[in-house]
Amino acid sequence: MKTRIIGTGSCLPETIVTNDDLSKIMDTSDEWISSRTGIKERRLVKEETTAGMSVQAARMAMENAGISPQEIDLIIVGTITGDYLTPSTACEIQAAIGAKNAVAFDINAACSGFMFALHTADAYFKAGIYKTALVLGAETLSKIMDWNDRSTCVLFGDGAGAVVARADETGLLAYEQGSDGMKGKVLACRDRRNNNPLVQESKEPEYVHMDGQEVYKFAVTTVPASIRKVLDEAGLKAEEIDYFILHQANIRIIQSVAKRLKVAEDRFPISLDHCGNISAASVPILLDEMNRKGLLKQGMKIVLSGFGGGLTWGSAVLEW
């Protein structure tokens, strides 16, 4: 039994914030951001919420798959920026779409969240427990940024991406995932202040704090190794892959992965130029953009790979 993606959807906030817009409120420039990251603009929420964007993406994915909410028996959302600690974003989606037969929960694996969620759905399918899942990555990262730290806040954006996954004869051919909690603090964000009157408050920063160069080194070594592992497991060579859909953190990371795998860069589609880094949402949003452009054809072999906070990573090879 394999996991097949049968529908995709996505939702971005309305407001576009360009690099030039950012340079009006902080000491940065389009030249610095574009040349170091490839990012030109990102979408940031004003009225939108993580659950609201997720619901729109989920509805699009269900329409694309041609299924009703009652057919969904599992909803998993990769997110670190839900609107509530409880209920989960997945439960909010369940309520909004009326998927009353579903079990719903979130997964916290930062930028690998969608990949971990997809693998979790795959494990349920293989165990014969569930057959149809909505799997999402959704983030409102703008709310956890330190807008006085130009080295992080310019990188990230908001949005949600969704797929409908179903147990089928073909689909996910191989999967690999990992974590390195020992390096967790190189990309960290503390949760809310402790409200317990007996507790002395910690001085840890409450917004995203990142050692960019450490994350960069981690990504350019771990991602190619992880992709090689899934290719080996699937019995495929890199040149047999039609598209490599990577987490959209930085164009230089993607170029380095392409070079290390000896694959032409044009097989690495990009959305970071107009979306920035949307953590768990970046892979499903890019997948949906490609699907809607008609670029994904039945039988194509596609690699998906996510990596980031935790540290965590996950890669998959799938047949479309």
Active-site residue numbers?
A: 111, 247, 277
Burial of 128: CB neighbours in 10 Å, binned 0-12, 13-18, 19+ = exposed
Q: How far is the CB of 276 from ligand UT7 (least distance, A)?
A: 10
φ, ψ for residue 294, nearest 5 deg: 75, 20
Considering only the stretches 47-55, 148-156, 290-298, 312-320, report the one whose residues sit in contact with ligand UT7 under the rule CB under 6 A. 148-156
The Cα 67–Cα 198 span in angstroms is 51
Give yes or no for residue 226 binding ligand UT7 (CB under 6 A): no
Nearer to ligand UT7, 120 or 222 (CB): 222
The Cα 59–Cα 16 span in angstroms is 23
Q: How far is the CB of 208 from ligand UT7 (least distance, A)?
A: 9
Give yes or no for residue 148 binding ligand UT7 (CB under 6 A): no
Considering only the stretches 77-85, 86-94, 207-215, 264-272, report the one whose residues sit in contact with ligand UT7 under the rule CB under 6 A. 207-215
- Judged by CB under 6 A, the residue of 2, 40, 131, 150 near ligand UT7 is 150
| Neighbouring C-beta atoms of residue 63, cutoff 10 Å | 12
Q: How far is the CB of 88 from ligand UT7 (least distance, A)?
A: 22
Give yes or no for residue 207 binding ligand UT7 (CB under 6 A): no
Helix boundaries (H) for the chain: 19-23, 30-37, 50-65, 89-97, 113-126, 150-153, 212-234, 251-261, 272-275, 282-292
Nearest C-alpha neighbor of 284 from the set 121, 69, 131: 121
Bridge partners for 305 per DSSP: 246, 315
Nearer to ligand UT7, 222 or 277 (CB): 277
Q: How far is the CB of 144 from ligand UT7 (least distance, A)?
A: 13
Contacting positions for ligand UT7 (CB under 6 A): 28, 32-33, 36-37, 111, 150-151, 154, 210, 212-213, 215-216, 249-250, 277, 308
